[in-house]
Amino acid sequence: MHTLIIKLLAAGITLGIIAGNSDEIIKFFNDTETVAQQIATAGDMRSISTMLDYEFIRRGRYPRTEHFERWMGEKFKENDLKPLTQDHWGYELVYRATKDQKKYTLISLGPDGIEGTEDDIRITGP
């Protein structure tokens, strides 16, 4: 009985600490989630960039902008987690090849989903 009271008291104190700091805990969780999404998106984009560079070495040009989605489907295995052409916030990656197909830009719109803001993740090649 004495052990049960100590455990209940400890649980109550812990819940009190958590409840008293709930805003900080939620902010910490949200910040951690955002960083994880940034890391995962950057990793995906690096893999895509590597395959784009391989394509350039092999064919002498990058895929046309309008063929990017099809190219992605041919080069990467589909998964059940998310569409291949989306970042980890659910926004479509922006891919643009120059007219001569010698350079490209790959952009994640970041958490705000708006191109041109400071949370964008951008890779250019070569």
Which CATH number fits the domain that encloses residue 86?
A: 3.30.700.10
State the residue range of the domain holding 56. 26-125
- Residue 115 maps to a domain: yes
Question: DSSP letter string over 13-53?
Answer: HHHHHHHHTHHHHHHHHHHHHHHHHHHHHHHHHHHHHHHHH
- Residue 95 maps to a domain: yes
- Residue 119 maps to a domain: yes
- Residue 3 maps to a domain: no
- Residue 56 maps to a domain: yes
- Residue 19 maps to a domain: no
- Residue 6 maps to a domain: no
- Residue 1 maps to a domain: no
Q: Does residue 44 have a pLDDT over 90?
A: yes
pLDDT band at 94 (very low <50, low <70, confident <90, very high): very high
Q: Is residue 95 within 8 Å of 65, Cβ to Cβ?
A: yes
Count up the domains in the chain and report the number.
1
As a whole number of angstroms, the distance between CA 71 and CA 59 comes to 13
- pTM for the whole thing? 0.76
| Percentage of the chain modeled with pLDDT above 70 | 75
As a whole number of angstroms, the distance between CA 61 and CA 38 comes to 28
Q: Does residue 17 have a pLDDT over 90?
A: no
